[in-house]
Amino acid sequence: MSSTIAPARARPARLDPSLLPGDTGMVERPRRRFLPFDPWHLFLAPLAVVMLLPLVWMVVTSLLTEAQTHHFPPVLWPGTPQFDNYLEAIRRSAFGTWFWNTMVVTVAIVISNLVLCTLAAYAFARVRFLGRGFVYFVLLATLMVPLQIVLIPTFLIVKELGLIDTLGALIVPNLASVFGIFMLTQFFRTLPIELEEAARIDGASRLSILLRIVVPLSLPALATLAVIQFMWTWNDFLWPLVTILTNQDAFTLQLGLATFQGAHQTTWHLLAAANIMSMLPMLVLFLLAQRYFVRGIATQGLKG
């Protein structure tokens, strides 16, 4: 058994045992290399194809003619890409309204959550006040109960408030989230307290400490909250489904797409185009802020 020195592209996490002093003699057999590349590519490349296939196929479909979508075997590439499908999808549906509504609701909720959750989380993390532990516990307990379970009573409350069939029904109940408070409280607790104490001694108010010291140190956490909240709101379906009953002017993208599919004897090339357009803002945000998504999921374990 030769003691070949592992090539540089061997896994960095692993030392070649034969290079170590005090070798026990149980040297791992050097891997024979049949391939000019890492064998994991043989698994990862097909995996990437499978994962991207539904998306790529949607893009291809959005560029076909209607006749081409009713063809078997499937037309894998349009002779001339039908970019007009995108305009046609906008013309044949209320896409503009859906998009605008979704944008309004999402932006309102993200901004409100950033403000309200920051205030509350700072108090929970730093201010000693009567009932703090109890209130925090009760809030966390509500995190255990998902919307699906309390769908009917939540609907009834929103109805009592006269919000059904308005964008208010989508915005108001989600202005603050327990998730945001929890996440930011955890983060604020990790910040060094000395700066804040020094500012307090200098007579700064709680609010100015929060704005001038804590918030600038917390931008990554706030960005994480913002992108996760954006994703949840943008993609939400169940809540708009039950609260926007008849008013089509208050439809969101998800709601609109769901009816688009039912209304038109499924014109796949147009539905595909509308679908791509509905995903675009989310995909762009993901590409720009991938690390905040990953951080949010890895540290908090949250998906919509």
Partner 1 sequence: MDRFRRFLVSDHAAGWAFILPSVILIVVFGLIPIVWGLVLSFQKAGLISPEREWVGFENYTRIVSDPKARQAAVNTITYTLLFVPTSILAALFVAHALNRKIALIRFYRLAVFIPVVTSTIATGIMFLWLFDKNFGLANWMLGKIGLGPFGFFEDPDQAMIALVLMTIWGWLGFDTIIYLAALQGVPHELIEAAAIDGASRWSTFWRVTWPMLGPATLLLVVWSTISALQLFDEVFFVTKGGPLGRTSVVVFYVYRLAFEQGLGALSLAGYAAAIAYVLFLVILVLTLAQFWLGRRVIHYQS
Q: What is the footprint of partner 1 within residues 124-163 (CB under 8 A)?
A: 124, 127-132, 135, 138-139, 142, 144-146, 148-159
> Rounded to the nearest whole angstrom, what is the least distance from the CB of residue 87 to partner 1 in the complex?
19
Which one-letter DSSP state was computed for residue 29? P
By CB under 8 A, what part of segment 62-91 binds partner 1? 69-74
Rounded Cα distance, 253 and 170, in Å: 13
Contact, 177 vs 113, CB < 8 A? yes
Rounded Cα distance, 76 and 57, in Å: 8
By CB under 8 A, what part of segment 206-265 binds partner 1? 206, 231, 234-235, 237-238, 241-242, 245, 254, 257-258, 261
Contact, 93 vs 252, CB < 8 A? no
Rounded Cα distance, 252 and 272, in Å: 17
- Which residue in 4, 190, 208, 299 binds partner 1 (CB under 8 A)? 299
- Which residue in 13, 35, 201, 219 binds partner 1 (CB under 8 A)? 13
Rounded Cα distance, 4 and 19, in Å: 9
> Rounded to the nearest whole angstrom, what is the least distance from the CB of residue 192 to partner 1 in the complex?
20
- Number of shown-chain residues binding partner 1 (CB under 8 A): 104
Rounded Cα distance, 264 and 268, in Å: 9
Rounded Cα distance, 138 and 73, in Å: 57
Rounded Cα distance, 101 and 170, in Å: 10
Closest to partner 1 by CB, 100 vs 290, is: 290
- Which residue in 6, 90, 104, 116 binds partner 1 (CB under 8 A)? 116
Closest to partner 1 by CB, 2 vs 148, is: 148
Between the alpha carbon of residue 186 and those of residues 123, 125, 226, the distances in Å are 12, 8, 16
Say whether residue 111 binds partner 1 (CB under 8 A). Answer: no
Instruction: Give the binding range for partner 1 (CB under 8 A) out of 6-14, 81-89, 90-98, 187-195.
Output: 6-14
- Which residue in 61, 106, 229, 267 binds partner 1 (CB under 8 A)? 61
> Rounded to the nearest whole angstrom, what is the least distance from the CB of residue 96 to partner 1 in the complex?
18
By CB under 8 A, what part of segment 35-54 binds partner 1? 37-38, 40-41, 43-45, 47-48, 51-54
**Rounded to the nearest 10 degrees, what angle do helices 268-288 and 84-92 cross at?**
100
Say whether residue 96 binds partner 1 (CB under 8 A). Answer: no
> Rounded to the nearest whole angstrom, what is the least distance from the CB of residue 91 to partner 1 in the complex?
19
> Rounded to the nearest whole angstrom, what is the least distance from the CB of residue 80 to partner 1 in the complex?
20
Contact, 92 vs 270, CB < 8 A? yes
Contact, 238 vs 147, CB < 8 A? yes
> Rounded to the nearest whole angstrom, what is the least distance from the CB of residue 167 to partner 1 in the complex?
16
Rounded Cα distance, 292 and 286, in Å: 9
Say whether residue 21 binds partner 1 (CB under 8 A). Answer: no
